[in-house]
Amino acid sequence: MRIIGTLPGEAAISTSTLTLTDQYQVALDPNLRMPIRNHYLPWTIAITVLILSTSSPGAGQHTAALKAHTFRALDGLFTIGYEQALHERVSVELSLQGGHYINFRPNRWEDYEVRGIGAIGAFRYFPVTKNIGAPRGFFTYAALRYVYLNETFCYTASRTKYEVGGNLVNVGLGIGYKVAYRRMGLEAFVGWGTGRLKSIDDAYRNNIPEYFQSSIEEQEHFPQLDVAICYMLSPFSKD
């Protein structure tokens, strides 16, 4: 038995108490927007603190970078990453991503949003190492992404709300370039890929209009276009 949602001061409504016609509908106050619960935030904070606490620069360490993406952050999707050079031509990166993947309200009656949290792992190769080395300069990369998603669609005209979870798995390729001076750097990259979006309840998700469903399905192509601000944990040149 799955609980759909509640109103303040009312008991929870389960699918077993609804008719077939209204099986996935819950009457809500038009001004009420139920927050999407995210139980993974404590893990995100813990992993971030662990990365920061173990990456202090020292003599003989490889060059590393802590970075924050900028373009998507303006839309409410936040990404922080840690990159570590393993060789002058090779680096690896781990990023944590979370927030709004989509927040779309085309009119006063419809409201659609997709929130999620996930991780991105990337392997980077630097073909040109003359006078510079990883993680600075031109690079190509392969990336793998996993995201846990939660879709919510509200139609205030009929006071109806649908909410369903799912996950997204992607692989992609791209190119980019990073410049740095002492401890500050700037990185731009672009990439594309493929993937799979899976809902935990396809029949329930079909209640969401197809137009909105297709907007999140575009994320299956793993579009990547962003600029990241970098903090170098060990400088490229002596202070």
What share of the chain has pLDDT > 70, as a percent?
A: 72
Q: Which domains does the chain have, with CATH numbers?
A: 1-26 (no CATH), 33-232 (2.40.160.20)
Q: What is the pLDDT of residues 135-171, one digit of tens each?
A: 999 999 999 999 999 999 998 888 889 999 999 999 9
Residue written as token pair 């005209």 = 157
pLDDT of residue 40: 55
For the chain, the average pLDDT equals 78
pLDDT greater at residue 118 or residue 4: 118
Task: Quote the pTM value.
Answer: 0.71
pLDDT of residue 70: 94
pLDDT of residue 44: 60
pLDDT of residue 129: 78
Upper half-sphere CA count for residue 135 (Cβ side, 13 Å): 33
Q: What is the pLDDT of residues 200-237, one digit of tens each?
A: 998 888 888 888 888 888 899 999 999 999 999 874 44
- Could you tell me the two tokens for 187? 């990185």
Evaluate if residue 112 carries a pLDDT over 90.
yes
Mean pLDDT for the stretch of residues 92-96: 97
The answer to whether 30 touches 156, Cβ cutoff 8 Å, is: yes
Residue written as token pair 């006071």 = 159
Residues 107, 147, 86: CA angle, nearest 5 degrees: 135
What share of the chain has pLDDT > 90, as a percent?
A: 49
Cα–Cα distance for residue pair 87/134, rounded to 1 Å: 7
pLDDT of residue 24: 36
pLDDT of residue 158: 84
Residue 156: helix, strand or coil by DSSP?
Answer: coil
Instruction: State the burial class of residue 95 (Cβ atoms within 10 Å of its Cβ: 0-12, 13-18, 19+).
Output: buried
Evaluate if residue 76 carries a pLDDT over 80.
yes
pLDDT greater at residue 81 or residue 40: 81
pLDDT of residue 48: 54
Residues in the chain: 239
Residues 148, 152, 157: CA angle, nearest 5 degrees: 175
